[in-house]
A and B are shown apart, each in its own frame.
Chain A
Amino acid sequence: MLKLVDLKKTFHPGTPNEVRALQGVSLTIEEGSFVVVIGTNGSGKSTLLNAVAGTFLVDQGKIELAGQDVTGWPEHRRAKFIGRVFQNPYMGSAPHLSIAENLALSARRGEFRGLNWALKRRQLEELQQQVREMGLGMENRLTNLIGSLSGGQRQSLTLLMASLKRPDLLLLDEHTAALDPKSADQVIQLTENLVRKQKLTTLMVTHSMQQAATLGDRLIMMVRGQIRYDFQGAAKKRLTPEAILSKFEEVRRMDLLDESAAELLRQRYV
């Protein structure tokens, strides 16, 4: 379970580049829930994910994960609970290590790493089995370097790596945005399968209305560092890509109205 209480984060405070990326975000994600986050550019959706992952520490608020207050924990310590897939398909794996070595590294996510052999034969067979189950045809190429794979293949592997040791929370940061449509479909398919099979608690940021409508059991729309809409249960099931788009349009118009109204007031009274 993930519990966020009134998260606030400002980048470059006190400078002309000040960005108030999170302006009081509270959110509770139940065990086994698959939450999709959408939002316009700069709405803070990726910032939210990074705040949970610990890429930076928040200015204010509380992050509770798997029953522990992790607010002050550095990124590598939170990794014990969190599996992550990045937007950049090259960010989630080490190119000059083999597929097997990458998998072996992820199998010990958040655990002590001592002087045991990293690749034991028995474990290797296990890994091979898991790669086979993914159906990507890579099970016989485990000694190949990751760098020799395509972006889609690497992203699929990163997904497997993130869930090899069952995470308490799976974070997906627009993980299909940089892929070609076919690979994106494949990775989404894989995501669905993994999440369903392992009943993973998942927080996924996406830019695709299609994915937002069809995936997950809860949809959150962020605007200007705050959660504007939160669709759950039946309301989420009813959502179509068009409905989501019209919500975006609504948000845009309201914001326009806000600004023009502010301008009107300024002209009249200042």
Chain B
Amino acid sequence: MSLLIGALTMGLMLSLLAMGVLISFRILAFRDLTVDGSITLGGAVAGMLIAQGHSPILSTFAAMLCGALAGCVTGILATRLKINGLLSGILVMTALYSVNLRVMGKSNIPLMNETTLFSMVQGWAKSEDRWTFLIWQAPLQDVFVLLQLCVMIPVVALIVWAYFQTEHGLSMRATGDNPDMIRALGVNVDWMTVAGLGLSNGLVALSGALLVQYLGFADVQMGIGMVVLGFASVIIGESLVRSRSLGLLLIGAIMGSLLFRLLVAIALRWGLNPNDLKLVTALFVLAALVMPMVLARISRPGKTQTLEVAPDA
């Protein structure tokens, strides 16, 4: 039971990462690799500020802002300086590794007895209190944290959804969908991309900030492979909701993230070596990307010829 609750809690926090990846990869059609750095940046800033005794709410906001800034830098490299989008992300991600070390001062900050965003709800129960559901038991504190996230994450998702219904948000969606068109309608596509990457990485950094406060430490290595993880959640979400409607895609990203953490928890329970986790994640994403093509070939063997010609067209 506590395994399940742990997986759901992680899943909810990482769904912010998935939403960020959804915005950059799907809405802006920008393959942004900054994510690996900005999630750590979020964790580092929040961890450092909280360890210094600052308010956790303030620290979390600061973390989000720093992540957004990192995203904007990637956007400026890609649009104003005309550097390839993938490379821009890699450059910023690489630079962020040093920045994160500078922010933290060392490679790991423990947050043992600090006040975090979750301290308040954790304070409603004693650490030895147990919550019993039929035959299963779980620490009550963990249940409260999960409930808090069950409120927090949908609120964030709702704000993101609402933003994309505004004039500015709609223009951002159009920027990813058809830049020629929205440029002809008077939108500066460059700055819209910068803003979108800022929003995306802000969410990612928020995810990192929450993660650090939940896990009780910030680590400079925590971001490795996060972009693939987020993308995996987005893919799962898309296949779950089967829709291009933004609201459903956001819900899909949350569900995808939850489902992915559950699958990971089950796999680990069945004896998967945690060291293999990233390999498995990468293979999973690969499979998800290749599957539609393979399925199309199997279902229409007669069309194989045209399919092979298609990539050139």
Chain A residues packing against B (C-beta within 8 Å): 53, 74-77, 79-80, 82, 84, 86, 91-97, 101-102, 104-106, 108-111, 113-119, 145, 161
Known: A76-B186, A105-B185. A115 touches B168 (CB 8 A): yes
Minimum CB distance partner of A85 in chain B: B184
Minimum CB distance partner of A93 in chain B: B181
Cβ of B109 under 8 Å from chain A: no
Minimum CB distance partner of A101 in chain B: B170
Give A82 Cβ to nearest chain B Cβ, in Å: 8
9-residue interface stretch from B142-150, B159-167, B222-230, B292-300: B159-167
**C-alpha spacing A90/B168, complex, angstroms:** 23
Interface string of B242-260 (1 = CB under 8 A from A): 0010000000000000000
**Is A79 touching B183 in the complex (CB atoms < 8 A)?**
yes
Cβ of B178 under 8 Å from chain A: yes
**C-alpha spacing A103/B170, complex, angstroms:** 11
Known: A76-B188, A79-B186, A105-B171. A117 touches B165 (CB 8 A): yes
Cβ of B189 under 8 Å from chain A: yes
Known: A79-B186, A110-B186. A118 touches B165 (CB 8 A): yes
**Is B183 touching A114 in the complex (CB atoms < 8 A)?**
no
Q: Is the interface of B mostly helix, strand, loop or mixed?
A: helix
**C-alpha spacing A79/B180, complex, angstroms:** 12
Cβ of B169 under 8 Å from chain A: yes
Chain B residues packing against A (C-beta within 8 Å): 163, 165-171, 173-174, 177-178, 180-189, 244
**C-alpha spacing A93/B163, complex, angstroms:** 21
Contacts of A117 in B (CB 8 A): 165-167
Q: Give 23 CB contacts A-B under 8 Å.
A: A53-B184, A76-B186, A82-B184, A84-B184, A86-B184, A92-B181, A93-B178, A94-B182, A95-B178, A101-B170, A105-B170, A105-B171, A109-B186, A110-B185, A113-B168, A113-B171, A114-B167, A114-B168, A115-B167, A117-B165, A118-B166, A118-B170, A161-B185
**Is A86 touching B180 in the complex (CB atoms < 8 A)?**
yes
Q: Is the interface of A mostly helix, strand, loop or mixed?
A: loop
Minimum CB distance partner of B171 in chain A: A113
Give B80 Cβ to nearest chain A Cβ, in Å: 12
4 closest A-B pairs by beta carbon, nearest first, are A79-B186, A110-B186, A94-B177, A113-B167
Known: A119-B165, A145-B244. A79 touches B184 (CB 8 A): yes
Minimum CB distance partner of B174 in chain A: A94
**C-alpha spacing A91/B184, complex, angstroms:** 10
**Is A75 touching B165 in the complex (CB atoms < 8 A)?**
no
- Which has the most chain A C-beta neighbours within 10 Å: B168, B173, B178, B185? B185
Give A46 Cβ to nearest chain B Cβ, in Å: 14
**Is A97 touching B167 in the complex (CB atoms < 8 A)?**
no
